[in-house]
Amino acid sequence: MTSNRTSLFGRRDFLRIGSLGALGISLDRVLRAGAKRDISCILLWQSGGCGHLDTFDLKPDAPKEIRGEFKPIPTNVPGIHICEHLPFTAKQADKFTILRSMKSRENNHERAINYLLTGYLPLPTLEFPSVGSVISKELGSKNGLPPYVAVPNTFPSYGGGYLGGAYNPFIAGDPNVSGYQVRDLTLPADVDWTRVGNRTFLLKQMDARFRAIEASADMAALDSFYQKAYDLLKSPAARKAFDIGAEKESLRERYGRTPVGQGALLARRLVESGVRFVTVAKGWLNYDTHGDNFNIMKKALLPEFDSAFAGLLEDLHERGMLDTTLVIAMGEFGRTPKVNDAAGRDHHSKAWSIVLAGAGIPGGRVLGATDKNGVQVTDLPVEPEDLLFTIYTLFGVDPTREYQTPVGRPVKPVNGGQFIPGLLG
Amino acid sequence: MWKKRPLSRFKWISSIALLAGAIGSAAVQPVRLAISPTNPLLFGKDSRQSLLVVAFYSDGTSRDVTREARFASAKAGVATVDNAGLVTAHSNGGSRIEAAYAGLRASTTALVQRAEAPLPVSFAGDILPILTKYGCNSGSCHGALNGQNGFKLSLFGYEPKNDYEMIVHKQDGRRLSLSDPEKSLLLLKPTFQVKHGGGKRFPKDSPDYITLLNWIRNGANSVLEQERRMVALSVNPPSNILLGKESKRRLLVTARYSDGSESDVTQLMRFQSNDDLIASVDPQGTMTGLEGGETAIVVRGPGVTGVAIVDVVSDSRPVPAFKGNNFIDQYVIEKLQRLHIPASEPANDATFLRRVFLDIIGIIPTSSEARQFLNDRDTDKRAKLVEALLHRPEYADFWALYWGDHLNNTKQLLYNKGPYTFTIWLNQIFRSNVPYDKFARMLLTSTGNTYDAPEVSFYPEMKKELDRASTTTQLFLGVSIECARCHNHPLEHWTRDDFNGMAAFFSQIRFKEPSGPRNNEKSLYLDFKRQFQHPDTKQVYLPKPLNGPVVTASDDWTDRRELLADWMTSPNNPYFARTLVNRMWRNFMGRGLVEPVDDFRATNPPTNAPLLDALAKDFVEHGYDLHHLIRSITSSATYQLSSIPIDGNKGDRMAYSRYSPRRLTAEQMLDSIVLATGVPERFRSQYPGTRASQLAEPEIESYFLDVFDRPSRQLICERKQPPTLNQALHLISGDTIQKKIADPRSSLPGDVEEMYLRTLSRYPDAEERSMAERVIAQAGDAKRGYQDLLWALLNCKEFLYNH
């Protein structure tokens, strides 16, 4: 990637991209400025940083202290091999692209997360909005559902930043718990709609007397959110969207009865109902395997991820939703090729792998490469700015447009970057 | 002190002093005419100066009558003047210029120098302002860190040398065509004769186009070292009163240059209003009054800024003063009277009671505290209440929480026990009312093990010198210097050198792990010899505070941070005390005198500068005593005004004509709900009965607190608290309120009066009592009825908002 971070929408760059069209998607059509695309995004967040040598960029020929304990297995795409502990994912390789050349400058969790989700290195004085907030602001949702949902919960740098809390995600909770219901989306057991009516009547009376003071945009907004809340509470579509119990048992098993598995399934339901951006996070720093990396990965993390990711791709494909759903699986950095004394791997931001699928991205490919030990990127470096630039472009959101911070400073949703070359074929 | 002084040569008789008396309507006669600027200097043949003519009327009002006046010049050979009041210089000397209007006359003398020839076009002085005016070098266009499409200019033209290189020489000089000047990209692009991402900035053949064209025609030469560049701006008039909505006033801007010359640059400046709702300004520098209030118009040229204060008076009726209690009221009343904004009524006892509880200790009173206060006949009870609150244990919790928010008190930055020891330490500080300057010094000069000396938590290990400089200046000096990390600050005169000079104070800080790597205990020690080297350029910087000279230590064993603390806490330091009193003012009044509270700059003046100065001076004179400051603010009549607007002050957002209602913070809300219902909230691994305001770190799980905007504390910023859907859902059907209402411990008293006192801290009136009783009767089941009443009381705006 050249270091010249020029806008894609400049004339000169347009000539460099070259032609494509292999899969009927022309970059030209996709990237026409101002033409927003009606697609959604599901982000599987591997909190803590996922080791690339243990998942998508194995180095079987490296010395033992680097290649670790896992072996590569073939996938359903000749020439592509991934970790043996991702067998279901291996059968879906024709649907996703492995990008092996992510790199960033941040080795600290919070800073790296901020960088990857907002496209900016963190500043002490300005909070940048996350990609989910920007997307939900620019595209909104359908069917009155919240546009941006976090499953089960939010994580640092998730929110609207200077765009405001109105663009924070709706928190969905953990759909794997039995009897899952989204938080507060049903009335309390002893409160029926009649009681709601009485309460609302009383509230209106009390607020009417207070109205003389109001003159506050916030109070009016809160009132409108009460109304939206009642609508949501009454809406069968919303209830339905979050009703994971309506899914066939067999499908729930296929995704895996784990928080990430059911989270991915819920994400599919939500996207189907009109939600624009869903994050499914694996706890907080669960992938941060500084010690006992191989046991934790093979026993806990990888099986959960494998079923969830493969289940999601297969399900989206079967429902014909893959073309309109961007699926990303990533963590804030990779993990050190050299295994440490505690049989763990530490933070490594010089190179790592992420996977991308859907929204017109061809599957069955590997983009980018690292050196023989997986330490440095040797081909097609992609930094967080580039990833976000790409995501915004895929959605038809201009990555060079400006927002105004509360102090009046113009800021773009991402700090430069360019479209990942070759991503669309 | 916030900016370079404007040219003292230009005295403008402010129309402020002349506003008095009732204002009649028809047939008011002008009694005096005045021309501005007084005795303008014109340098160079064909240089020009706009004049402004203002008529003053018998009723004290004034109006810009430039377009209606007639002009004449005594010596046309020296200078001529046209119908619009534009003076053009021809030869050296002086010429008396006279304006006439409605039988009145005024005159001034235009002094022309260096008129042997036109002044040579200066790249920095004549070309760069055009690029600044049209936004070419703004942060969203070519002034962005990486420019646009390979064309990069310095932000708002603060680096003329680089800009000249970029325009004239870079990429083989493709931006200029000396052989065919009109075909230069520099002209084709902004006039949109070829595609330009920035659109059409100005038309072909406009005056600015001609200036650029002529410069190119003459070879686009520049000897930058010999050229004049702008060093200061003077805005006339510097302060204004605009009477009535839609009234207009032109601003004139004069630049002073490095060679001593001056010039009218009004047509070259970029104008911006700090509050478009109060007054707007058009690209030619004409202000329009919109809504009653005060704001500032910011004028920007390459590397220079200017400010004009404008007061808009939208109501012709003068307002009476309200009865003031202390010096604070004097300044507030003065401003309100100038703006013709009336103050609301004083707040009643119940309102004051709840307000002062929330603002000082962060929780509402109990019903018995409310009864006791409301029934107390002592005329001094309000002051006595404040005194009592200052000494309650909740006071220390509340302010430890405030400072925890501002001092990164989180496990993400202070590991493991860190937030707990730090919170205990903060609590002690406020319990013993440690003077604020001592508090700051303790933090700044801390050393040792973070668990034994918790004040070391001021220095999270992962932050480096530049970050420390940024947060220290933001927190204690109210200055957002972050922009200057990479380029000179676009709106202030801070430079990268200022930033690096502050960073150098922190160069000696080192950390070691006293008990081995697993303990996460850190110990801060000083490496006295260590210098600050910029991480990218490797240049060494010496410690230098903002606007001050480099500080040298008396010996090799001086903690540089002591020197910083000395400078900061010196009574003459213009930032330290002002920043704190502004923060405290914001806590009590809802809006700082400077907003945002960490964005003090010349182009963001306080809404009441004399008040800010007086508060700061009083604070310093009383030994930086926070209790004293709180007493002053809360005993003022201004603080005790009602929040209910009256005719004439509904739109006021900056003059404090009434108390500004705001939503309770997450902790205030939760703690008050717990108090009102009698059902405590359980926090994981905390002692039962722990209040939200006592939680040491934001990682302690609480959906309620998160959904109501508990900060993560990784940044220092004020809570925005926007309403959200999750909040509404949680209040309607969430378990926090619902469980407490249904809990048997909430011991619903079955008594409407008690319920109002517990939640709203006041007695219900007759109408409220009967409405409540009606609803309870209608519910069938009395218990459910009271639960519904309690739900409504906890959800109504009067509860959720501090008013």
Q: What is the pLDDT of residues A39-85, one digit of tens each?
A: 999 999 999 999 999 999 999 999 999 999 999 999 999 999 999 99
Note the pLDDT of residue B12: 36
Q: Does A342 touch chain B (CB under 8 A)?
A: no
pLDDT higher than threshold 60 for residue A19: no
Q: Which range among A161-165, B128-132, B183-187, B318-322 shows the weakest confidence by mean pLDDT?
A: A161-165
The SS3 call for residue B373 is helix
Q: What are the structure tokens assigned to B229, written together?
A: 């560049």
Residue A377 included in any domain: yes
Q: Which range among A212-221, B478-487, B741-750, B768-777 shows the weakest confidence by mean pLDDT?
A: A212-221
Note the pLDDT of residue B17: 35
Note the pLDDT of residue A17: 32
Our measurement of the distance from residue A34's CA atom to the centroid of its chain's CA atoms, rounded to an integer in Å, reads: 23
Name residues 130-149 of chain A within 8 A of B (Cβ): 146
Task: For residues A224 and A345, state if they share a domain.
Answer: no
Alpha carbon distance B714, B780 (integer Å): 50
More confident residue, B780 or B233: B233
Q: Does A372 touch chain B (CB under 8 A)?
A: no
Q: Which among A174, A206, A235 is the end of a domain?
A: A235
Task: For residues A251 and A114, state if they share a domain.
Answer: yes
Q: Band of the pLDDT at B16, cuts 50, 70, 90?
A: very low
Q: Which residues of B709-734 are buried (b: 16+ CB within 10 A; e: fewer)?
A: bbbbbbbbbbeebbbbbbbbbbbbbb
Note the pLDDT of residue B27: 59
More confident residue, A212 or B477: B477
Residue A282 included in any domain: yes
Note the pLDDT of residue B195: 86
Note the pLDDT of residue B683: 95
In Å, how far is B300's CA from the nearest CA of chain A? 15
Note the pLDDT of residue B173: 87
- DSSP state, B266? G
How would DSSP label each residue in B531-542? PEE-TTT--EE-
Q: What is the mean pLDDT of residues A149-168?
A: 80
Task: For residues A266 and A334, state if they share a domain.
Answer: yes
Note the pLDDT of residue A235: 80
Name residues 36-75 of chain A within 8 A of B (Cβ): none
The whole-chain average pLDDT of chain B stands at: 88
pLDDT higher than threshold 90 for residue B372: yes
Give the containing element (helix H, strand E) for B801: strand B801-802
Alpha carbon distance B773, B780 (integer Å): 12
Note the pLDDT of residue A187: 85
Residues of chain A positioned with their CB less than 8 A from the CB of B802: none
Note the pLDDT of residue B18: 36
Residue A3 included in any domain: no
C-beta of residue B580 within 8 angstroms of C-beta of residue B619 = yes
pLDDT higher than threshold 60 for residue B518: no
pLDDT higher than threshold 60 for residue B596: yes
Expressed in angstroms, the distance from the first to the final Cα of chain B is 35
Alpha carbon distance B10, B23 (integer Å): 30
Task: For residues A161 and A101, state if they share a domain.
Answer: yes
HEC sequence for A362-401 = CCCEEECEECCCCCCEEECCECHHHHHHHHHHHHCCCCCC
Q: Band of the pLDDT at A406, cuts 50, 70, 90?
A: low
Q: Does A299 touch chain B (CB under 8 A)?
A: no
Q: Which range among A141-145, B92-96, B295-299 shows the weakest confidence by mean pLDDT?
A: A141-145
Note the pLDDT of residue B793: 95
Nearest to B590 by CA among B637, B668, B660: B660
Note the pLDDT of residue A3: 35
Subunit contact B661:A213, Cβ cutoff 8 A: yes
Task: For residues A341 and A385, state if they share a domain.
Answer: yes
Note the pLDDT of residue B14: 37
Q: What is the mean pLDDT of residues B541-566?
A: 91
pLDDT higher than threshold 60 for residue A6: no
Task: For residues A160 and A204, state if they share a domain.
Answer: no
Q: Which residues of B129-145 are buried (b: 16+ CB within 10 A; e: fewer)?
A: bbbbbbbbbbbbbbbbe
Domain count for chain A: 2
Q: Band of the pLDDT at B274, cuts 50, 70, 90?
A: confident
Per-residue pLDDT tens over the stretch B654-682: 999 999 999 999 999 999 999 999 999 99
Note the pLDDT of residue B43: 92
Note the pLDDT of residue B326: 96
Q: What is the mean pLDDT of residues B60-77?
A: 90
Among chain A residues, CA nearest to B701: A153
Phi, psi of B13 (to 5 degrees): -75, 110
Alpha carbon distance B451, A173 (integer Å): 36
Residue A99 included in any domain: yes
In Å, how far is A413's CA from the nearest CA of chain B? 12
Give the containing element (helix H, strand E) for A263: helix A259-273
Task: For residues A285 and A167, state if they share a domain.
Answer: yes
Q: What is the dihedral of CA A136, A140, A143, A147, to 10 degrees?
A: 10
Of A10, A127, A202, the CB nearest to B788: A202
Q: Which range among A310-319, A400-409, B229-238, B701-710 shows the weakest confidence by mean pLDDT?
A: A400-409
How many helical (H) and strand (E) elements, i.e. helices and strands, does chain B have? Answer: 26, 27
Task: For residues A213 and A346, state if they share a domain.
Answer: no
Task: For residues A149 and A281, state if they share a domain.
Answer: yes
CATH of residue A336: 3.40.720.10
In Å, how far is B11's CA from the nearest CA of chain A? 32
Q: Band of the pLDDT at B519, cuts 50, 70, 90?
A: low
Note the pLDDT of residue B288: 92
Q: Does A208 touch chain B (CB under 8 A)?
A: no
Q: Does A201 touch chain B (CB under 8 A)?
A: yes
Of A190, A199, A228, the CB nearest to B742: A190
Residue A309 included in any domain: yes
C-beta of residue A11 within 8 angstroms of C-beta of residue B195 = yes
The SS3 call for residue B52 is strand
> Which residues, in sequence order, are CB contacts of B735 under 8 Å at separation 6+?
A184, A188
Task: For residues A90 and A153, state if they share a domain.
Answer: yes
Residue A20 included in any domain: yes
Q: β-pairing, B523-526 with B448-449?
A: antiparallel
- DSSP state, B280? E
Q: Which range among A401-405, A413-417, B33-37, B612-616 shows the weakest confidence by mean pLDDT?
A: A401-405
pLDDT higher than threshold 50 for residue A20: no
Of B138, B146, B645, the CB nearest to A5: B146
More confident residue, B630 or A222: B630
Note the pLDDT of residue A165: 64
Task: For residues A119 and A228, state if they share a domain.
Answer: no
Give the containing element (helix H, strand E) for B725: helix B725-733
Q: What is the dihedral of CA B626, B632, B637, B638, to 10 degrees?
A: -50
Note the pLDDT of residue A353: 98
The SS3 call for residue B38 is coil
Give the containing element (helix H, strand E) for B43: strand B41-43
| B4 φ/ψ sector (left φ>0, alpha ψ -120 to 50, else beta) | beta
Alpha carbon distance A285, A278 (integer Å): 19
Note the pLDDT of residue B111: 96
Q: Which residues of B514-549 are buried (b: 16+ CB within 10 A; e: fewer)?
A: eeeeeebbbbbebeeeeebbbeeeeeebebbbbeee
Task: For residues A372 and A308, state if they share a domain.
Answer: yes
Subunit contact B720:A165, Cβ cutoff 8 A: yes
Alpha carbon distance A383, A417 (integer Å): 8
pLDDT higher than threshold 80 for residue B451: yes
Note the pLDDT of residue B265: 92
Of A210, A218, A402, the CB nearest to B796: A210
Most confident of A67-81, A118-132, B283-297, B727-741: A67-81
How would DSSP label each residue in A46-88? -TT---GGGTTS--TTS-HHHH-S--EEE-SSTT-EEETT-HH
pLDDT higher than threshold 90 for residue B575: yes
Q: Does A240 touch chain B (CB under 8 A)?
A: no
Q: Band of the pLDDT at B713, cuts 50, 70, 90?
A: confident
Tell me the HSE value of B271 on the side-chain side, using a 13 A CA sphere: 24
Note the pLDDT of residue B23: 38
C-beta of residue B225 within 8 angstroms of C-beta of residue B206 = no
Residue A6 included in any domain: no
Q: Which residue has the tokens 């047939």?
A: B27
Residue A1 included in any domain: no
Domain that holds residue A335: 11-182+242-411
In Å, how far is A357's CA from the nearest CA of chain B? 30
Per-residue pLDDT tens over the stretch B117-127: 888 788 988 89
- DSSP state, A129? P
Of B715, B735, B789, the CB nearest to A202: B789
Note the pLDDT of residue B5: 41
Percentage of chain A lying above the pLDDT 70 cut: 88
Q: What is the mean pLDDT of residues B389-417?
A: 91
